[in-house]
Structure 1
Amino acid sequence: MSDSVPGAGIPAEAVVAEPDAPADSVYEPEHGPAAPAPLGVPRTPTGNADVDAWLERLTDADHLATDGHVEVYEDVHRGLRDTLTSLDARPGPAAPAAAPAPAP
């Protein structure tokens, strides 16, 4: 048997029932009842400032209820897509011409 709540990463002794809550609800003393809690997922810098800024925007979801995550995720997805698309559109050296195919 495990000492933690399955999937929550919270030690069982830290999870207690809220005084007037239904028996199946939990209260996390550190965050309060039903309060959003940061996931603490580390982000490794990509080396591209624009991409890193969009990934950092994901931390905004840490302080929102679950129903607010979609807006942040869609915004980040749109920003990453636009940023990555702009990388393809940047002028650069011309691609080498393809060699003609050998005659059969």
Structure 2
Amino acid sequence: MSDSVSEAVPSAEAAVLEPAVPAEHEYEHDPSAPAPLNVPRTPTGNADVDAALDRLADADHLATDGHIEVYEDVHQGLREALTALDARPGPPAPPGSYGNRS
């Protein structure tokens, strides 16, 4: 065997496995685990809408297959908030409006 070939082949001592990440750079958590997206949510001023949007943070700690439940819950909360806007009583209509001509 020539010297160039023996240099290219690692010796048995060099084949000892070392950690891929040095100890000072170890991860604090599993990098493949769910992580927060840290998307800022600006308050809307509507308590029902804000509560529904705050619920989105619950998805940050779930695997992707768990997101659908959170998204459906938020969607339902937003639908209920919109429906509540339509159901709120407004000021009474003045007599004679809306075709009530006597």
Tell me which interval the TM-score lies in, with the shorter structure as reference length.
0.5 to 0.7
Aligned equivalent of 1:76: 74
> After superposition, where does 1:23-62 map in structure 2 within 5 Å?
29-62=27-60
Unmatched segments (≥5 aa) in structure 1: 1-18, 20-27, 100-104
Q: Secondary structure at the match of 1:42?
A: coil
Unmatched segments (≥5 aa) in structure 2: 1-19, 21-25
Q: How high is the TM-score relative to the length of structure 1?
A: 0.62
Aligned-pair distance for 1:58? 0.3
Aligned-pair distance for 1:83? 1.2
Higher RCO, Cα 8 Å, sep 6+? 2
What's the Cα RMSD here?
2.5
Structure having the larger proportion of residues in helix: 2
Q: Distance in 1 between matches of 2:51 and 2:84?
A: 15
Aligned residues: 74
What percentage of aligned pairs have identical amino acids?
Answer: 77
Larger Rg: 2
Q: How high is the TM-score relative to the length of structure 2?
A: 0.63
4+ runs deviating over 6 angstroms: none
Residue 55 (structure 2) pairs with residue 87 (structure 1): no
